[in-house]
């Protein structure tokens, strides 16, 4: 499943993302990808949401990764070391 996010992913919007993905059935072996290519801003609230979503999906046997990140998001993920956790092929 591919979910595309557009705009801002921060403490004000992360609840909507989490709520939207709460209803998605996570089955073992199913892969969820978040396309962040059009996310212009990401803060600690957004990062927390990504990690919480990942944790929930992994606990149900599904896979999770972030893909197609914008330059700003890529830089932030590299700076925090989360590129190794969230990006495909680097620890997803």
Q: Residue 35 maps to which CATH number?
A: 3.30.750.24
List of residues 6+ apart from 46 with CB closer than 8 A: 8, 9, 10, 11, 13, 14, 39
Residue 92 lies in a domain: no
Residue 90: per-residue pLDDT:
45
Residue 75 lies in a domain: yes
Contact assessment for residue 33 and residue 4, using Cβ atoms and an 8 Å cutoff: no
Residue 91: per-residue pLDDT:
39
Query: Is the pLDDT at 68 greater than 70, yes or no?
Result: yes
Q: How many domains does the chain have?
A: 1
Residue 91 lies in a domain: no
Residue 19: per-residue pLDDT:
85
Residue 10 pLDDT level (bands cut at 50, 70, 90): very high
Residue 55 lies in a domain: yes
Residue 11 lies in a domain: yes
Residue 71 lies in a domain: yes
Residue 58 lies in a domain: yes
Residue 12 lies in a domain: yes
User: What would you measure as the largest C-alpha separation in the chain, in angstroms?
Assistant: 32
Q: Which domain holds residue 79?
A: 2-86
Please report, for residues 27, 47, 48, 58, 83, the alpha-carbon distance to residue 62 in angstroms, rounded to integers and kept in the order given: 6, 19, 19, 5, 19
């Amino acid at each position: 499943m591919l979910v595309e996010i557009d705009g801002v992913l921060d403490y004000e919007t992360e609840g909507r993302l989490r709520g939207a993905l709460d209803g998605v059935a996570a089955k073992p072996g199913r892969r969820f990808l978040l396309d962040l290519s059009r996310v212009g801003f990401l803060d600690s609230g957004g990062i927390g949401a990504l990690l919480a979503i990942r944790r929930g999906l992994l606990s149900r046997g599904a896979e999770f990764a972030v893909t197609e990140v914008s330059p700003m998001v890529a830089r932030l993920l590299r700076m925090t070391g989360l590129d190794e956790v969230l990006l495909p092929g680097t620890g997803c």
